[in-house]
Amino acid sequence: MTRVLSCIQPTGPVHLGNYLGALRNWVSGQHECDAFHGIVDLHALTVTDRPGVVGENTLELAATLFAVGLDPEVATVFVQSHVPEHTQLGWIMECTVSYGELSRMTQFKDKAAKREADFVSAGLFTYPALQAADILLYDADDVPVGEDQRQHIEITRDIAERFNTRFGATFVVPKMVTPKAGAKVTDLQDPTSKMSKSSGGDAGIVYLHDDPSVIMKKFKRAVTDSDSEVHFDRAHKPGVSNLLEILAACTGRSPEEVAAGYQQYGPLKNDTGEAVVEVLRPIQERHRSLLEDRAELSRLLRRGAEKARVVASSTLARAYRNIGLLPLDV
């Protein structure tokens, strides 16, 4: 059975990009695959310095993952800091990746530039090594993510191959999987940039918990183009193409098929907003009721961590053995 692993950071509310680019694929894949999904709280520490925030976001995010449809009876949902093997293998990954490779990571360059005068942690720089550990610990075949993770998955493959060459076959070399529509949802106000928790304002970001009226307003005000023709062309018509792709993702069609049904921007914006509201409505209801029982969420996460540790500890032991670290009992 194909093993799947993917994770999300608890750095703030989940948005439509996270949902269409990743979470929806996790839910649809959980019944055919052996699925592991992590809330990577230690990754969030690269940009967090206030006490308590990450823990609270983690519980909130757990409720979101179950609300979108991850079934704790089927998928293994865990918190990264509950599985200490992640940081243990993370160090080994740091010793298997080069300074030059990490320096070429565009996400590091972008995030460091955005933080400018702020504190830029070494963790922000070594982040891809910990991400490689997240993936390789689970012998994952597939990693379902959005397009923005491509460089991180490629470096993970390079690290796995390098380790296997140095120390013998140890890790599965994973492959990236993206959805047909929704792999790169862009900001509704700035359609050349991806929709992102770290972007400037909220007007172009649709959050999973936004009220229907707020969602409709955000779509009605979405930036389109100066001409008025509806067709799918990411390069020349980024705003309209983003709407077409969102509507396609919500209705299971291709963006080109969707485009054929519209002559004007107004109805396209309206229908896209309505489709998103309908997709999110049941998720919002489930999220509210899940958050009412924090003890149950915590119980589900404990079970997830136990299941994750069975796999993670055996992979870590294999890596130690193949490196030839001195065992406790010789």
Binding stretches for ligand TYM (CB under 6 A): 6-9, 17-18, 21-22, 40, 43, 131, 134-135, 143, 145-146, 148-149, 152, 183-185, 194-196
d(CA 125, CA 93): 13
Q: Which is nearer to ligand TYM, 143 or 222 (CB)?
A: 143
Residue 329: CB minimum distance to ligand TYM, A: 33
How open is the CA angle 70-72-73, to the nearest 5 degrees?
120
Neighbouring residues of 50: CB distance < 8 A, sequence distance ≥ 6:
none
Q: What DSSP string runs through 20-64? A: IIIIHHHHHHTTTSEEEEEE-HHHHGGG--STTHHHHHHHHHHHH
Shortest distance (Å) from residue 29 CB to ligand TYM? 13
Question: In angstroms, what is the minimal distance from the CB of 330 to ligand TYM?
Answer: 35
Nearer to ligand TYM, 23 or 300 (CB): 23
182-195 b/e with 16+ CB inside 10 Å = b?
A: bbbbbbbbbbeebb
Active site positions, annotated: 111, 194, 197
Of 315, 302, 326, 307, which Cα lies nearest the Cα of 132?
Answer: 315
In angstroms, what is the minimal distance from the CB of 117 to ligand TYM?
23
Residue closer to ligand TYM, measured from CB, 76 or 324: 76
Nearer to ligand TYM, 8 or 280 (CB): 8
Cα 29 from Cα 279, distance rounded (Å):
18
Secondary structure letter of residue 75 according to DSSP: S
Q: Which is nearer to ligand TYM, 249 or 259 (CB)?
A: 249
Beta carbons within 10 angstroms of residue 103's beta carbon: 10
Amino acid at residue number 224: T
- Minimum distance, C-beta of residue 214 to ligand TYM, in the bound complex (Å): 18
